[in-house]
Amino acid sequence: MLRIKTKDPKALLKKFDDAIAQKISPKIDTWRKVASGAHKDKYTHTSADQKDLAFLEASVVDDDKADIHEVRFRVTFPAPAPKNAEYIYSYYHGHMLETIFSHFNNDITEVVASPYVKTKAK
């Protein structure tokens, strides 16, 4: 999971969406928001070799009482998870970090990334 700490997480996620939709500059063309289907409203990378291999599910935590203000991105895979899931997880995290730092550096205060944890089959 990526946790992007910011003063206004809703505004940051809107700016991200607007940059993907090419509504604001600098525009982002390396990510797209899925418009329909099982992964609707999740984000995927647009590179030819990584497109649709994983999805980032965004959520906003804006809790004044707990002083938590962040956008969270959780990686999900189409079922079943690919054999190289750890690599794909790392790729998606790394490229999202690059996007956030290069486009929204002045809007964030800290980024926390969690490592990939394999789940055991039942």
Per-residue pLDDT at 36 exceeds 90: yes
The burial class, CB within 10 Å (0-12 / 13-18 / 19+), for 105 is: exposed
Domain of 93, in residue numbers: 2-113
CB-CB contact of 74 with 56 (8 Å): yes
Let me know if residue 25 belongs to a domain: yes
Average model confidence (pLDDT) for the chain? 94
Total domain count for the chain?
1
- What are 70's two structure tokens? 């962040």
Within a 10 A sphere around the Cβ of 59, how many other Cβ atoms? 12
Let me know if residue 122 belongs to a domain: no
Let me know if residue 9 belongs to a domain: yes
Q: Return the percentage of the chain with pLDDT > 70, whole number.
A: 97
pLDDT in tens, 41-93: 999 999 999 999 999 999 999 999 999 999 999 999 988 889 999 999 999 99
Residue-level pLDDT at 117:
85
- What are 121's two structure tokens? 């089959």
Per-residue pLDDT at 110 exceeds 60: yes
Residue-level pLDDT at 121:
53
Let me know if residue 120 belongs to a domain: no
Within a 10 A sphere around the Cβ of 35, how many other Cβ atoms? 8
Cα dihedral sign, 78-84-90-91: negative
